[in-house]
């Protein structure tokens, strides 16, 4: 289990006004709508989520880094838990056309509006109950998804990722290192249910039997 940072350069490209999310007094209502993971979350007003989650090629660098680090090759099998519109998987397939990919997400909307080329490889389902056999994948990734689960389901999801991978895994979750980052995270988040420091995350990974790699997003 190792800390690896594939995400910071991508995460830092977006400018965020943390106080804007709480300034108008409707944050709780916006969060309730966001947690449906429907059109409003992906492509609605910014106060409900992404404010428009469209393909722009920004995942290409991360795809290349993951492929290189894990030594992926054509014929290998990769699962993305919480794949959203499958932009990362799309970039991985562009680089390795023979890569066998699978994506899973809770959102019907995201799957219906994923890259058309990727839709045949996507499943609707829950991270805490993966519909795949033991040791099905060479690599399982989950990028900014698991912190949206309550603790009991989060631990199940980590065990499920461990169950279905035969070689490696990589998860990215939101975290904070100080009170400023904690406040920014609490102001900005809409769907997060698990709030932990890096040390707490590492403890939770070990307690859940997760042996894969991990990364953190910080709201600086």
Inside any domain, residue 3: no
CA atoms of 165 and 119, how far apart (whole Å): 22
* DSSP letters spanning 54-95: ---STTHHHHHHHHHHHT--TT-EEEEET-TT-HHHHHHHHH
pLDDT tens for 142-173 read: 999 999 999 999 999 999 999 999 999 999 99
Q: Report how many domains make up the chain.
A: 1
pTM: 0.95
List, for residues 98-128, the tens digit of each pLDDT value: 999 999 999 999 999 999 999 999 999 999 9
Q: 68: which 2 tokens? A: 């290189």
**CATH number of domain containing 161:** 3.40.50.150
pLDDT tens across 45-59, in order? Answer: 999 999 999 999 999
Q: Is residue 46 part of a domain?
A: yes
First vs last C-alpha separation in the chain: 25
Backbone angles phi, psi at 157, to 5 degrees: -65, -40
């Amino acid at each position: 289990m190792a800390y690896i940072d594939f995400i910071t350069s991508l995460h830092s490209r977006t400018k965020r006004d943390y106080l804007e999310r709480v300034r108008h007094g409707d944050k709780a209502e916006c969060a309730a709508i966001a947690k449906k993971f429907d059109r409003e979350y992906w492509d609605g007003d910014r106060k409900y989520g992404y404010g428009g989650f469209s393909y722009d090629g920004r995942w290409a660098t991360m795809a290349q880094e993951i492929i290189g680090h894990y030594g992926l090759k054509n014929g290998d099998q990769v699962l993305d838990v919480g794949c959203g519109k499958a932009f990362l998987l799309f970039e991985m397939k562009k680089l390795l056309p023979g890569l066998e990919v699978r994506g899973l997400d809770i959102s019907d909307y995201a799957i219906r509006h994923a890259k058309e080329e990727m839709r045949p490889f996507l499943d609707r389902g829950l991270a805490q109950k993966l519909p795949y056999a033991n040791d099905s994948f060479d690599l399982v990734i989950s990028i900014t998804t698991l912190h949206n689960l309550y603790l009991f389901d989060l631990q199940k999801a980590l065990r499920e990722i461990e169950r279905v991978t035969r070689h490696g895994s990589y998860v990215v979750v939101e975290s904070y290192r100080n009170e400023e980052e904690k406040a920014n995270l609490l102001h900005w988040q809409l769907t997060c249910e698990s709030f932990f420091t890096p040390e707490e995350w590492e403890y939770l990974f070990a307690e859940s039997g997760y042996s894969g790699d991990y990364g953190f997003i910080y709201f600086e």
